[in-house]
Structure 1
Amino acid sequence: MVETREGFSPYGESRTWYRVTGDLGSGRLPLVVAHGGPGCTHDYVDSFKDLAAGGRAVVHYDQIGNGRSTHLREKSPDFWTVNFFLGEMEALLAHLGIAGRYALLGQSWGGMLGAEHAVRQPAGLRGLIIANSPASMPLWVAGASKLRAELPAEVEETLDRHENAGTTDHPDYVAATDIFYARHVCRIQPYPAEVQRTFDAMADDPTVYHAMNGPNEFHVIGTLKDWSVIDRLPQIAVPALVLRGAHDEATEECVQPYLDMIADVRGHVFADSSHMPHVEERADCMRVVEGFLSGLESPPATGD
């Protein structure tokens, strides 16, 4: 049985809930997992704890505003910024005593946050995994528009009509959204329990998601709508692994800048996945990620 421990990391007047699976003192490179959203919880990326079976500590946390961390429903949209969440991550690394040596995996929005973290070249970052993440939100929206055009005509019409009317909480709109999600977010239906827990938590408190993103994955009207990291990607100085699913809402076009502009980068596409290969092709995803992390721990090859 792999040991686990939970706790809270202070950040200003708030607290960040975290869980460590495995032993941070094992000597293996610890992995920190940043969940998506913005506004999700750790639950749907819980499967990455599988990587602790080989002695690697895996850190999950709920970003503030979500899950088991402090909720701030009263905050206005301008409170929720990239810099706020970067500061939270840095506080967690310091609290756990791993700021000097760690790898970071960010899924979806977590990968956007991971890229923002990496371009600042933190001294302790040893490797970055960007999973199912866009390099810019305009590219994300352009890709989503193409995917929407492939939906049945009546579904796309329902989406357009309610978005134009501002009635995105209408049951017909929600049902049409679910059709897109079943194709491009998670193709396992019904959702596995850990994925459903995240969606339930977001429905209970959508403060962060609505402020930064919008009502759903493809109608982006929040504060992140113009976000891009493309021009700063050459500043990432650590090895990177970029993952996506063949049916992903993170389309090839919105992921490509990572592959083109990070100096030391490799990519992998999961043929039978959409936005959650860690759920849809769990074992294969863990194999790919562990292979990358093990490579970071291997000593460099030397010539004769």
Structure 2
Amino acid sequence: MKCILPLVLVFLLFFQGCSSPSGTENERKSNTTANYLDYSGREDVLSGGARMIKISTPKGDFNVWTKRVGNNPTMRVLLLHGGPGGTHEAFECFDSYLPKAGIEYYYYDQLGSHYSDQPNDTSLWNIDRFVEEVEQVRKALDLDKDNFYLLGHSWGGILATEYALKYQDNLKGLIISNMMSSVPAYNKYAEEVLGPQMPKEVLSEIKALEVKNDFANPRYMELLMPHFYTQHALRMPLEEWPDPVNRMFNHMNNTIYVQMQGHSEFGITGNASLKNWDRSQDLANIKVPTLTIGGQHDTMDPKHMEWMATQFPEGRYLHCPNGSHMAFYDDQQTYFNGLISFIKDVDNPGKGN
């Protein structure tokens, strides 16, 4: 017994020494989570992170709605929704992924969108004014080059590109989600690649309605929803579309949407103001780390979005093989694993997740 006891004590001390780091690691994770969820001392604690921000425009002052989720001094993502005229609601699935990654993020309804002021002056709906709006929101939220990631989806990708071309010194990272750098190239892809995937009789009827400018005809969307939207916008049966997506479409400001985008996602038609937008030759001027994201079944050409990543000095591409235009729903794991990895790698190079 005298010989065995010292050996037992040595074993116990060794075991305790080996187990203590995991306890420390658990405490570290617990403290990190507690800090992330701690809103004390923030101006928006009363409202759970929501606040209205006053912005100035050539036509007066208005308020736009934002909502913060989490605390992280080095990783803060401002989300620019699609449309134009859509809402932040489509992004609500981000709640399932970014908090557990410890990433702070901001929902934001652009001026004219459902939760923000909705002035009737159509002169406000232009790219340059939206860029200045984003800059005012950035300042109000105290985002800067040490923490500010800008994620733009669809139309938001156009807005994020334009913002970066003017204000990239304020950015830490840029994410262009499901948006090409050229609307003419997007229209060509819709015409030459996506259109022919539809049954010939369906495409012919759609084209006939477009020629007659009969977009108000219910038949137009009756054809597009099953033959285009559920194939290339969100690859789920309509009855399975998530509630946030349905709310976003229900709250769409169609005045802004039609003025800038046209009547559908099947290319930009008519006199829509974005019809000739093209920044393909300017991408090399964006020096900050940039991630482009594309879906195999996207309304946008995934090859073009992959090419875009090669034009940025610090570009990367994330391909969602099962994804469409809203790949954060129909290829969710790929989308969020890649997005989080990018944000964390820019924050702490070489570490990734």
- Does TM, scored on the shorter chain, surpass 0.5? yes
> Does 1:166 pair with 2:213?
yes
Deviation at 1:169, TM superposition (A): 1.3
Q: Which has the larger radius of gyration?
A: 2
Q: 1:156 aligns with which of 189, 193, 203?
A: 203
Question: Which deviates more from structure 2 when the two are superposed, residues 281-290 or residues 241-250?
Answer: 281-290
1:131-210 matched pairs, under 5 angstroms: 131-145=177-191, 146-178=193-225, 179-190=227-238, 191-202=241-252, 205-210=253-258
Question: Which deviates more from structure 2 when the two are superposed, residues 46-55 or residues 57-66?
Answer: 46-55
Q: Which residue of 1 aligns with 2:165?
A: 119
Question: Whole-Å Cα distance in 1 between the matches of residues 332 and 135 of structure 2?
Answer: 28
> Does 1:80 pair with 2:107?
no
Provide, for residues 169-210 of structure 1, a one-character-per-residue CA deviation record: whole Å limited to 9, x for no partner.
1111111111210100001222111111111111xx311101
Q: 1:107 aligns with which of 146, 153, 157?
A: 153
Amino acid at match of 1:149: P
Deviation at 1:287, TM superposition (A): 1.2
Structure 2 unaligned runs (5+)? 1-32, 40-47
Q: 2:260 aligns with which of 212, 218, 231?
A: 212
Instruction: Give the conservation status (yes or no) of the 8 Å contact 1:120–1:235.
Output: no
Structure 1 unaligned runs (5+)? none
Q: Which residue of 1 aligns with 2:142?
A: 97
CA RMSD, 1 decimal: 1.7
**DSSP-derived class of the 1:60 partner:** strand
Q: Which residue of 1 aligns with 2:337?
A: 287
Question: Whole-Å Cα distance in 2 between the matches of residues 105 and 139 of structure 1?
Answer: 22
1:256-275 matched pairs, under 5 angstroms: 256-275=306-325
Question: Whole-Å Cα distance in 2 between the matches of residues 254 and 275 of structure 1?
Answer: 14
Q: Which residue of 1 aligns with 2:112?
A: 65
> Does 1:28 pair with 2:28?
no
Instruction: Give the conservation status (yes or no) of the 8 Å contact 2:318–2:335.
Output: no
Deviation at 1:253, TM superposition (A): 4.7
Structure with the higher fraction of residues in helix conformation: 2
Residue identity over aligned pairs, in percent, reads: 27
Amino acid at match of 1:62: D
Question: Whole-Å Cα distance in 2 between the matches of residues 170 and 254 of structure 1?
Answer: 33
Q: Which residue of 2 aligns with 1:5?
A: 49
Question: Whole-Å Cα distance in 1 between the matches of residues 335 and 178 of structure 2?
Answer: 12
Amino acid at match of 1:176: L
Question: Whole-Å Cα distance in 1 between the matches of residues 142 and 74 of structure 2?
Answer: 14
Deviation at 1:239, TM superposition (A): 0.9
Deviation at 1:141, TM superposition (A): 0.6
Higher relative contact order (CA 8 A, sep 6+): 1
Question: Whole-Å Cα distance in 2 between the matches of residues 52 and 126 of structure 1?
Answer: 19
Amino acid at match of 1:296: V
Question: Whole-Å Cα distance in 2 between the matches of residues 118 and 68 of structure 1?
Answer: 25
Question: Whole-Å Cα distance in 1 between the matches of residues 130 and 65 of structure 2?
Answer: 14
**DSSP-derived class of the 1:120 partner:** helix
**DSSP-derived class of the 1:144 partner:** helix
Question: Whole-Å Cα distance in 2 between the matches of residues 166 and 140 of structure 1?
Answer: 21
Instruction: Give the conservation status (yes or no) of the 8 Å contact 2:292–2:306.
Output: no
Deviation at 1:121, TM superposition (A): 4.4
Q: 1:52 aligns with which of 74, 93, 99?
A: 99
Count, aligned residues: 295
Describe the shift of the 1:224–1:271 C-alpha distance in structure 2 as closer, same or farther (beyond 3 A).
Answer: same
Deviation at 1:300, TM superposition (A): 6.8
Instruction: Give the conservation status (yes or no) of the 8 Å contact 1:8–1:18.
Output: yes
Question: Whole-Å Cα distance in 2 between the matches of residues 268 and 54 of structure 1?
Answer: 18
Q: 1:128 aligns with which of 171, 174, 199?
A: 174
Instruction: Give the conservation status (yes or no) of the 8 Å contact 1:28–1:55.
Output: no
Question: Whole-Å Cα distance in 2 between the matches of residues 256 and 226 of structure 1?
Answer: 21
> Does 1:296 pair with 2:341?
no
